[in-house]
Amino acid sequence: MADPNIDVVAKAAGVHRSTVSRAFSRPEAVKSETREHILRIAEGLGYTMSPLAQALRRKTSTFVPLIVPDITNPFFAELAKTMTQAADERGYQLLLCVTNGDPAKTEGYFTAMQAMYAPFGIVAPSTKVDTGVLKRFDFGHRVVVIDRVEGDSSVPTVTVDSRRGIVLALEHLRSLGHTSIGYVSGISGTHTAQDRMDAYLELSAEGSSTPLVLDSGSDPDAGARAAKHFLEMENPPTAIIAANDMVAFAVISALGQSGIRVPEDVSVMGFDGLALGARFNPALTTVRQPIADMGNIAIELAEKQNLNGSVDHVVLEPELLVRASTAGPRK
Amino acid sequence: MADPNIDVVAKAAGVHRSTVSRAFSRPEAVKSETREHILRIAEGLGYTMSPLAQALRRKTSTFVPLIVPDITNPFFAELAKTMTQAADERGYQLLLCVTNGDPAKTEGYFTAMQAMYAPFGIVAPSTKVDTGVLKRFDFGHRVVVIDRVEGDSSVPTVTVDSRRGIVLALEHLRSLGHTSIGYVSGISGTHTAQDRMDAYLELSAEGSSTPLVLDSGSDPDAGARAAKHFLEMENPPTAIIAANDMVAFAVISALGQSGIRVPEDVSVMGFDGLALGARFNPALTTVRQPIADMGNIAIELAEKQNLNGSVDHVVLEPELLVRASTAGPRK
DNA sequence: ACGGTTAGTGCAACCGATCTCGGCAATCGA
DNA sequence: TCGATTGCCGAGATCGGTTGCACTAACCGT
C-alpha cells in the first residue's frame, strides 16, 4: 500500500491535480462540495500531502529549528519541551538542533535550515550572539533569539528581566535577615548571564552588603570551586545566589560533601525555576523564569516578523519561587 | 544571492545536470578531473544540494527521528545528546520527537517520518512497545527500539541487562552490610522498568532479606509517596534501590524534607548513571547505563537492518557507580 | 439582451534533484 | 582489423506537489 500521490486521488475524485492541491492548501478557492468530496476520497485512500514536495515547490516549509547548545541542560530541555508543544499547535514541526557550543555546528544548522526552507528559527545561545552570523546566512530577518543581544536591535528577542530577578532574590534573602550574600556565576557567556551578574554587583553594593563573587568561571565545575572557595573563607556569606539552578545544584552538592548544610548553615538560591529543583535536596528556592511563555512568545515573534517585518523585544517578569533551600542566617 | 541550483552549476561547469549530480552523489561514476572541476565550481558558487529535492526523488532521506516520551527527563536528554552526535557522524540528521507519552502523537510522528522518507527511526518508549503499531506504519522493519520487546523479535532492540544491574546494586548494598533493602519503582510501563522490578523481587528474596516495595506507582510523585511510606513504617529498610535516578532524586528530596538523611539514616541508590547525579546532594550512587553506547548501537543496528535485513538484540552491561548516597546501615 | 465580473476548474510549467537509457569514444581480445 | 566491451556523459522522464493563466458558466447592472 505505497501511499498514494496527488494524481491517484485526483483520478479517484474525478478532478484535476490542481484541484486536489487547492482542496488541501487553499480551501476557499474551491467549491465547498467539491472540496469535501475530495477530502473524503483522500481520507479513504489514506492520503496525506508530502511535506517534502510542498516545501520544494513553495520554497517554505513548516520545519522550525530550535538551536540549543546542550539539551542535557534542563533549562534547554524544558524550553524544548514547551516549544515543541507551541510549535505543533501552530502547525510547525520543531527540529531540535544541538550545537554543543560549537559555532561551526551552529553555522551548519543555519545552512541546513536554509536548505530546508525553514520559515524561521529560534536560537537559545550559549555565547553572546553574533548577529553578523545570522545575517550572513540571509536568516537575519527570520530568527528570534532567546537572550538579549547587543548593539543590534534588528533581531527579535525574548528574555526575562534579569535585574528584576536579582532584586527578587536579594529581597527574599534580606527579608530573611541575610546581609552577607555571595554570588556564583558559573556558566556564563550569554548576555543574560552577564546581566544577572551585573545586577548582582550593582544591587548588592546598594544594600548594606558588599558584593562577593565566589566564582565566575564558565565551566560546569564552577559550583565545586565556589564551594571550595566558600570553605576557605574565614568569614563566608550566609547566603548564596547562583546564576542558575544547575549551578545551585552543584554548589549545594559540593557544600554537602564537606558537611555544610543547606539551608541550616547557608542559604542557597537558584535562578531558572526548573521542575527538577522541586526534587532537589533540599527543594530549591529560586527565581522562576516563565519558560513556557518564552517558548510561545518566541514563535509568535517569529510569525509576526515574517508577516509584517516588525521586530519586537519582549522581556518577561520573573517570579520568586520559595522552596526549602533558604532560611534565616546561621548564628 | 539566492542559492544556485544544480543547473546553474552545470552551466558554469559546462556539463549537464546529471553529471553534476553524479559528481556529488556517485563520485566513482564520473571522471575524476571532471568531478574535481565541478566540485571546485560548486564550491565557488556556494552550492550545496537540496536535501529536500534529493529526498523527494530518491525516496529516502537522512532524517532520523528519535521518538522519546519526555525530553525533560534527563535520561532521554542524555540519550538525545549522544544520538545527535552519533547520527551526524554518520551523515544523518536527528529529528527529536517528543510525544509526552501520547500514543496519538507517536503515530503522528510515524506518519511524518514516512512522509519524509526517513530511512529508519529510533524509539525510546514510555510504555511497553506495541510492535503492531510499528508494522502498521510499514515501519516495522526500519525501527529500532531502546527497550526490550515481548513476543516479537522482528524489531531490533538495545537494552542494558536489568537483572545484572540489580545484582550490582544488591551486591554493593550487601557488601556495605545492608540486609533490609527496599525498592521504589516509580515511573514504569516499559519492559526494562518491569525487568528491574522483577529482578529485584526475585533476587532480594534469594538473599536473606525479604522484598519490600515502597511504591510502584508510575507517576512522578512516586518518590514522595515512597518517602511517606518509609516514614510510616515501624521497621523501615536501611537501604533503598530506586528504579531510576530521577526517582532516587525524588525519594531523597522527600526524605530530606522529613529530616531523614542520606546516607546516614538510609542509603539510596539510583539506576541510570545520569551526569546530574554527580551534582545531587549527596552525589548519587547508581548503576550506570552506557547511554552513549546505546545511542551508537541503536543507529548501527538500524543501518545493519536496512542493509541486510538482520535484526539483532543487543543487551549491554551496566556498571556500578559508587558515589556518596550509600554507606553502612544505621545502627 | 449584452458587456463585464466572478467563481470554479483545468492546463502545463516549475521546484531541484535522481536515474534509466542510449550515444559516443576509447580500449580490448583474437 | 573488427566486433564487443567499457567508461563517461547527455537527454529526458520522474518524484509529488504548486501556481499563473486560460477558459467556462453563472451572475451583475442597466
Q: Which nucleotides of chain D are near protein (any atom < 7 Å from a CB)?
A: 7-20
Interatomic separation, CA of residue A53 and C1' of nucleotide D26, rounded (Å): 35
In which band, very low, low, confident or very high, does the pLDDT at A187 lie, cut at 50, 70 and 90?
low
pLDDT in tens, A99-118: 888 888 888 888 888 889 99
Mean pLDDT of B262-285: 96
In which band, very low, low, confident or very high, does the pLDDT at B137 lie, cut at 50, 70 and 90?
low
Tell me the chain A residues in contact with residue B138 when contact means C-beta distances shorter than 8 Å: 1
Task: Please list the residue range(s) of chain A that carry CATH number 3.40.50.2300.
Answer: 59-160+291-316, 162-289
In which band, very low, low, confident or very high, does the pLDDT at B326 lie, cut at 50, 70 and 90?
very high
Which grid cell is B126? 514510555
Which grid cell is A23? 482542496
Interatomic separation, CA of residue B35 and C1' of nucleotide C29, rounded (Å): 31
Tell me the chain B residues in contact with residue A78 when contact means C-beta distances shorter than 8 Å: 72
pLDDT in tens, A58-108: 999 999 999 999 999 999 999 999 999 899 899 898 888 888 888 888 888
Q: Do B3 and A114 touch (CB under 8 A)?
A: yes
pLDDT higher than threshold 60 for residue B244: yes
The residue behind cell 531523614 is B260
DSSP 8-state secondary structure symbol assigned to residue B210: P
- Residue in chain A closest to B136 (alpha carbons) equals A1
Tell me the chain A residues in contact with residue B262 when contact means C-beta distances shorter than 8 Å: 281
CATH class (in words) of the domain with range B59-159+291-315: alpha beta
pLDDT higher than threshold 70 for residue A220: no
Q: Do B280 and A282 touch (CB under 8 A)?
A: no
C-alpha distance across the termini of chain A, in Å: 76
β-bridge mates for residue A123, sequence order:
A67, A145
Q: Do B280 and A281 touch (CB under 8 A)?
A: yes
Count CB-CB contacts under 10 A for residue A4. 17
Least CB–CB distance from A77: residue in B77, B252, B257: B77
pLDDT in tens, B145-164: 999 888 777 889 999 999 99
Residue-wise over B145-179: b if at least 16 C-beta within 10 A, else e? bbbbbeeeeebbbbbbbbbbbbbbbbebbbebebe
Interatomic separation, CA of residue A57 and C1' of nucleotide C7, rounded (Å): 26
Q: Mind telling me how many Å the CA of B162 is from chain A's nearest CA?
A: 24
pLDDT in tens, A241-294: 999 999 999 999 999 999 999 999 999 999 999 999 999 999 999 999 999 999
pLDDT in the model for residue B141: 63
Q: Mind telling me how many Å the CA of A70 is from chain B's nearest CA?
A: 8
Q: Mind telling me how many Å the CA of B232 is from chain A's nearest CA?
A: 20
Residue-wise over B44-74: b if at least 16 C-beta within 10 A, else e? eeebebbbbbbbbeeeebbbbbbbbbbbbbb
**Closest-CA residue to A179 (of A156, A159, A208):** A208
Provide, rounded to the nearest whole percent, the portion of chain B with pLDDT above 90. Answer: 66
Architecture of domain B6-49: Orthogonal Bundle (1.10)
Question: CB of B203 within 8 A of CB of B166?
Answer: yes
**Closest-CA residue to B173 (of B265, B255, B238):** B238
Name the residue with higher pLDDT: B315 or B111: B315
How far, rounded to the nearest angstrom, does the alpha carbon of residue B247 sit from its chain's CA centroid? 17
pLDDT higher than threshold 60 for residue B269: yes
CA–CA distance, A75 with B66 (Å, rounded to integer): 20
CA–CA distance, A188 with A126 (Å, rounded to integer): 8
Checking each nucleotide's C1' against the CA of B33, the nearest proves to be: D8
Q: Residue B21 CB closer than 7 angstroms to strand C?
A: yes
Which grid cell is A46? 489514506
pLDDT in tens, B182-227: 999 876 678 999 999 999 999 988 765 677 788 766 566 777 888 8
pLDDT in the model for residue A217: 64
In which band, very low, low, confident or very high, does the pLDDT at B52 lie, cut at 50, 70 and 90?
very high
The per-residue DSSP string of B134-159 comes to HHHTT-TTSEEESS--SS--SS-EEE
Question: CB of A71 within 8 A of CB of A98?
Answer: yes
pLDDT in the model for residue A38: 96
Question: CB of A312 within 8 A of CB of A301?
Answer: yes
Provide, rounded to the nearest whole percent, the portion of chain A with pLDDT above 70. Answer: 94
CA distances from B170 to A270, A314, B176, B260, B327 (A): 35, 53, 10, 22, 13
Task: Please list the residue range(s) of chain B that carry CATH number 3.40.50.2300.
Answer: 59-159+291-315, 162-289
Own/partner pairs, A201-205, CB within 8 angstroms, 24+ separation: A203/A163, A203/A166, A203/A167, A203/A170, A204/A170
Task: Please list the residue range(s) of chain A that carry CATH number 1.10.260.
Answer: 6-49
The CATH fold assigned to B162-289 is Rossmann fold (3.40.50)
Amino acid sitting at position A22: R
In which band, very low, low, confident or very high, does the pLDDT at A190 lie, cut at 50, 70 and 90?
confident
Angle between helices B32-45 and B6-13 (to 10 degrees): 120
**Closest-CA residue to B83 (of B72, B69, B67):** B67
The CATH number given to A59-160+291-316 is 3.40.50.2300
- Residue in chain B closest to A85 (alpha carbons) equals B98
pLDDT higher than threshold 80 for residue B233: yes
pLDDT in tens, B68-82: 999 999 999 999 999
DSSP 8-state secondary structure symbol assigned to residue B30: S
- Residue in chain B closest to A64 (alpha carbons) equals B95
